[in-house]
């Protein structure tokens, strides 16, 4: 096991690292995607299968990315180059690091566009734009947003500016400080929204829907959806956790930290469901609205309930905080790479990476309007970026990470680094060598 090179930036505390890693995991996937997937996939059965998958597949890959990052103490590309060289493995393993950094860059470009939507909805909640609107009225607001290139570019630019401003400040003053401020704020807003949900009259239905499983409804599609989301929700396969691991000292217990992150990520996802579903049930809205649940369905409720503007404001602040904590983590591996491979300092590297992601994001947002007819393989730019990353870059990078750790690193070194006894390590070895890779392979081919 390589010694930590203290010249490389380090987290100031384990808690700061855990909050930053949790902030990365807790993004639009928790507040936006998880609730609508639960709604589309029949409720509690999906939740329980998801929980099993996240501990059996998500957690081992998370630990693997941190471990490799800590050993390499560099950006994901250089890390894979170094650990492959030390283990006598092929130089082609560097493609795992390259896939992670490139995947994070591509995701950030269109993720910032969605973050911009959330900022726009904060303004709409404050100005009472949702008041008295039906589904058609809210749909018109959202369609109007997508149809205006200037409006989309403004909000996309503002969101990216916030992201760049935080990352440019560095690991402790930027990433860590943002996480220690935004994660507690996110938690407080979520608790307040759950308490509000208890007053709506739909809370009992929400509890039953989320936690009383109808196992007869389970099919292969639900299992695959739970397996896929368990992999994607922890920011795996994006180079993020490898970059975060590169700032870790030897004293941090990786398994204990990973359990904490997984539990916090899961609790926040479940709490988001308990905040959203009571409103949906109380207002008689459609559970299976899919991606439109957040930007079309819920604003209908906010516009027609007491103090709806305040509830809507709290909700879209929550969504924006979650988006920012993930966006800064997506930018970090790209910045770390530019900083280590160029004469640019931290601020310059962040600016270059941020502007490049912003420019690609502009192309993505134009696919909703002026470039709507421009298709590549039948997909507009936004959908192409989403498809490339979710179906190819992320699962293949995650698979590469887990296979490298399981089959190329010295098993005894890994056992000691994880602090496991022989029996527990045998179980770990079984999971990382066979179960987790098989799960990722199933997700990859199912997505195809």
pLDDT tens for 376-405 read 989 999 999 988 998 889 999 999 999 999
Calculate the alpha carbon distances from 410 to 89, 103, 181, 286, 404 in Å.
12, 28, 39, 52, 10
Q: Is 376 helix (H, G, I), strand (E, B) or coil?
A: strand
How many Å apart are CA 193 and CA 206, to the nearest integer?
Answer: 14
- Judged by phi (left if over 0) then psi (alpha if -120 to 50, else beta), residue 200 lies in alpha
Q: What size, in residues, is the chain?
A: 448
* Residue 236: strand, helix, or coil: coil
Q: For the whole model, what pTM was predicted?
A: 0.92
Nearest to 22 by CA among 247, 195, 269: 269
Q: Average pLDDT, whole number, for the chain?
A: 90
Q: What is the pLDDT of residue 232?
A: 77
pLDDT category, 291, cuts 50, 70, 90?
Answer: low
**Banded model confidence at residue 3, pLDDT cuts 50, 70, 90:** very low
- At 158, is the secondary structure helix, strand, or coil? helix
Examine the pLDDT at 194 and tell me if it is beyond 60.
Answer: yes
Band of residue 2 on the pLDDT scale cut at 50, 70, 90 = very low
pLDDT of residue 301: 84
State whether residue 191 is helix, strand or coil: helix
**How confident is the model at residue 273, as a pLDDT?**
87
Please determine, for residue 300, whether its predicted confidence score (pLDDT) is greater than 90.
no
Q: Write down the pLDDT at residue 288.
A: 64
- The whole-number average pLDDT for the span 102-111 is 96
Per DSSP, 305 falls in state: S
Confidence of residue 33 (pLDDT cuts 50, 70, 90): confident
Query: Contact, 119 vs 318, CB < 8 A?
Result: no
Q: Is the pLDDT of residue 443 over 50?
A: yes
């Amino acid at each position: 096991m390589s010694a930590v090179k203290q010249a490389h930036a380090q987290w100031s505390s384990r808690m700061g690292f855990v909050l930053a890693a949790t902030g990365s995991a807790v993004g639009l996937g928790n507040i936006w995607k998880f609730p609508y997937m639960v709604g589309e996939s029949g409720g509690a059965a999906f939740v329980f299968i998801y929980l099993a998958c996240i501990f059996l597949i998500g957690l081992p890959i998370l630990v693997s990315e941190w471990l490799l990052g800590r050993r390499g103490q560099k950006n994901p590309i250089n890390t894979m180059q170094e650990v492959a060289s030390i283990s006598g493995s092929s130089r082609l393993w560097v493609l795992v690091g390259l896939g992670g950094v490139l995947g994070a860059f591509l995701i950030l470009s269109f993720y910032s566009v969605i973050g911009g939507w959330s900022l726009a909805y904060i303004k709409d909640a404050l100005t009472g734009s949702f008041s008295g609107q039906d589904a058609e009225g809210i749909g018109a607001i959202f369609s109007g947003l997508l149809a205006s290139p200037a409006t989309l570019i403004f909000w996309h630019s503002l969101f990216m500016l916030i992201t760049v401003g935080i990352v440019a400040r560095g690991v402790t003053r930027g990433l860590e400080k943002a996480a220690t401020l935004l994660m507690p704020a996110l938690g407080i807003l979520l608790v307040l929204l759950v308490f509000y949900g208890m007053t709506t009259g739909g809370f009992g239905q929400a509890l039953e829907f989320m936690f009383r499983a109808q196992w007869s409804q389970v099919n292969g599609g639900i299992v695959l959806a739970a397996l896929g989301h368990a992999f994607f929700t922890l920011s795996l396969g994006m180079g993020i956790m490898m970059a975060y691991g590169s700032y870790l000292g030897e004293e941090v217990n990786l398994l204990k930290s990973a359990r904490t992150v997984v539990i916090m990520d899961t609790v926040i996802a479940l709490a988001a469901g308990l905040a959203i579903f009571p409103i949906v049930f109380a207002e008689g809205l459609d559970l299976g609205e899919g991606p439109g649940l957040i930007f079309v369905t819920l604003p209908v409720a906010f516009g027609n309930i007491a103090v709806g503007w305040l509830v809507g404001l709290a909700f879209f602040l929550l969504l924006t905080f979650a988006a920012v904590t993930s966006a800064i983590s997506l930018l970090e591996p790209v910045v770390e790479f530019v900083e280590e491979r160029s004469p640019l300092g931290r601020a310059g590297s962040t600016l270059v990476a941020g502007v490049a992601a912003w420019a690609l994001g502009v192309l993505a947002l134009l696919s909703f309007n002026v470039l709507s007819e421009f298709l590549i393989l039948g997909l507009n730019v936004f959908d192409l970026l989403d498809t490339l990353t979710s179906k190819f870059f992320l699962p293949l990078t995650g698979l590469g990470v887990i296979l490298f750790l399981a089959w190329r690193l010295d098993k005894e070194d890994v056992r000691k680094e994880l602090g496991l006894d022989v029996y527990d390590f045998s179980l770990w070895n079984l999971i990382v060598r066979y179960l987790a890779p098989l799960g990722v392979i199933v997700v990859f081919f199912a997505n195809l």
